[in-house]
Amino acid sequence: MSSLRMTSDLRRQLILSAAKRCFARNGFAGTTTKSVAAAAAISEGLLFKHFPSKAALYAEILAEECEADPDLAHLLGQAPSTATLVELIKGMVGHFMHISDGPGEEEAQRLRLMTTSHLDDGEFARLLYAKVSDLIGSVFTASIESAVAAGDASKIGKEPLNLFWFAHHTVLMAALSQLPAVPCLTYGDAADLERQLCQFILRGIGLNEAAITSHLDCELSPNSGQSVTAESA
Amino acid sequence: MSSLRMTSDLRRQLILSAAKRCFARNGFAGTTTKSVAAAAAISEGLLFKHFPSKAALYAEILAEECEADPDLAHLLGQAPSTATLVELIKGMVGHFMHISDGPGEEEAQRLRLMTTSHLDDGEFARLLYAKVSDLIGSVFTASIESAVAAGDASKIGKEPLNLFWFAHHTVLMAALSQLPAVPCLTYGDAADLERQLCQFILRGIGLNEAAITSHLDCELSPNSGQSVTAESA
DNA sequence: GGCGTGTGAGTAATCACTCACCTTGACCAA
DNA sequence: TTGGTCAAGGTGAGTGATTACTCACACGCC
- Report how far apart, in Å, the C-alpha atoms of B90 and of each of B71, B162, B194, B217 are: 13, 18, 8, 11
Which positions of strand C lie within 7 Å of protein CB atoms?
Answer: 4-10, 14-20, 24-25
Nearest CA to B204 among B78, B93, B99, B97?
Answer: B93
- Same domain flag for B102 and B44: no
- Same domain flag for A15 and A86: no
Nearest CA to A90 among A106, A102, A78?
Answer: A78
- The model's pTM is 0.87
* Out of A164-168, B73-77, B89-93, least confident range: B73-77
What is the percent of chain A with per-residue pLDDT over 70, rounded to a whole number? 88
In this prediction, residues A111-136 reach a mean pLDDT of 91
pLDDT of residue A1: 54
- Same domain flag for B145 and B48: no
Strand partners of residue A53:
none
- Same domain flag for B83 and B175: yes
Q: Is residue B1 part of a domain?
A: no
- pLDDT tens across A208-225, in order? 999 999 988 755 444 433
For residue B203, which residues of chain A lie inside 8 Å, CB to CB? 203-206
Given A65, A96, A112, the domain boundary residue is A65
What is the percent of chain B with per-residue pLDDT over 70, rounded to a whole number? 88
Query: How many structural domains does chain B have?
Result: 2
Q: What backbone torsions phi and psi does residue A153 show, to the nearest 5 degrees?
A: -140, 155
Task: Select from A62, A127, A185, A194 the residue whose CB has the most chain B CBs within 10 Å, as the one to mutate to test that interface.
Answer: A185
Of A80 and A76, the structure prediction assigns the larger pLDDT to A80
Nearest DNA or RNA nucleotide to A29 (CA to C1'): C15
For residue A185, which residues of chain B lie inside 8 Å, CB to CB? 126, 129, 165
A165:B156 CB<8 A = no
- Cβ distance B125 to B117 under 8 Å? yes
Q: Is residue B223 part of a domain?
A: no
pLDDT mean across residues, chain B: 87
Given A65, A85, A110, the domain boundary residue is A65
Q: Is residue B233 part of a domain?
A: no
Terminal-to-terminal C-alpha distance of chain B: 38
d(CA A206, CA A212): 10
In this prediction, residues A83-97 reach a mean pLDDT of 93
User: Is a pLDDT exceeding 70 seen at residue A157?
Assistant: yes
pLDDT of residue A194: 95
- Same domain flag for B209 and B137: yes
pLDDT of residue A232: 43
Residue A212 CA, chain-centre distance (Å), reads 24
**What residue spans of chain B are helical by DSSP H?**
8-26, 33-39, 44-50, 54-65, 73-76, 82-97, 106-119, 123-149, 160-177, 193-204, 209-217
Classify each residue of B204-231 as buried b or exposed e, where b means 16 or more C-beta atoms within 10 Å of its C-beta: bbbbbeebbeebbeeeeeeeeeeebbbb
Q: Is residue A232 part of a domain?
A: no
Question: Which residue among A29, A183, A188 places its CB closest to the CB of B30?
Answer: A29
Q: Is residue B52 part of a domain?
A: yes
Q: How far is the CA of B32 from the C1' of D17 (A)?
A: 14
- Same domain flag for B81 and B55: no
pLDDT of residue A68: 63
pLDDT of residue A223: 41
- pLDDT tens across B41-73, in order? 999 999 999 999 999 999 999 888 877 666 666
Q: Is residue B86 part of a domain?
A: yes
pLDDT of residue B71: 63
- Same domain flag for B141 and B207: yes
- pLDDT tens across A185-209, in order? 999 877 799 999 999 999 999 999 9
- Cβ distance A54 to A35 under 8 Å? no
Confidence of residue B233 (pLDDT cuts 50, 70, 90): very low
Confidence of residue B218 (pLDDT cuts 50, 70, 90): low
Question: Which residue among A115, A125, A180 places its CB closest to the CB of B121?
Answer: A180
Write the single-letter amino acid at A125.
A
User: Is a pLDDT exceeding 80 seen at residue A175?
Assistant: yes
CATH number of the domain bearing residue A158: 1.10.357
- Same domain flag for B39 and B101: no
| Strand C contact at CB of residue A33, distance < 7 A | yes
- Same domain flag for A104 and A209: yes
Strand partners of residue A207:
A153
Q: Is residue B151 part of a domain?
A: yes
pLDDT of residue A71: 63
CATH number of the domain bearing residue B17: 1.10.10.60
Residue B202 CA, chain-centre distance (Å), reads 19
For residue B189, which residues of chain A lie inside 8 Å, CB to CB? 157-159, 162
Classify each residue of A59-81 as buried b or exposed e, where b means 16 or more C-beta atoms within 10 Å of its C-beta: ebbbeebeeebebbeebeebebb
Q: Is residue A149 part of a domain?
A: yes
What is the domain range of residue A169? 73-217
User: Is a pLDDT exceeding 50 seen at residue B232?
Assistant: no
In this prediction, residues A87-105 reach a mean pLDDT of 88
In this prediction, residues A104-114 reach a mean pLDDT of 86
What is the percent of chain B with per-residue pLDDT over 90, rounded to a whole number? 64
Q: How many CB pairs under 8 A join A and B?
A: 175
pLDDT mean across residues, chain A: 87
Taking CA B176 as the corner, what is the angle to CA B180 and CA B97, rounded to the nearest 5 degrees?
100
Mean pLDDT highest for which of A162-171, B17-26, B114-123? Answer: A162-171
Contacts of B189 (CB under 8 A, 6+ apart): A157, A158, A159, A162, B196
- Same domain flag for B21 and B38: yes
SS3 track for A131-179:
HHHHHHHHHHHHHHHHHHHCCCECCCCCCHHHHHHHHHHHHHHHHHHCC
- Same domain flag for A100 and A153: yes
pLDDT of residue B227: 38
- Same domain flag for A80 and A172: yes
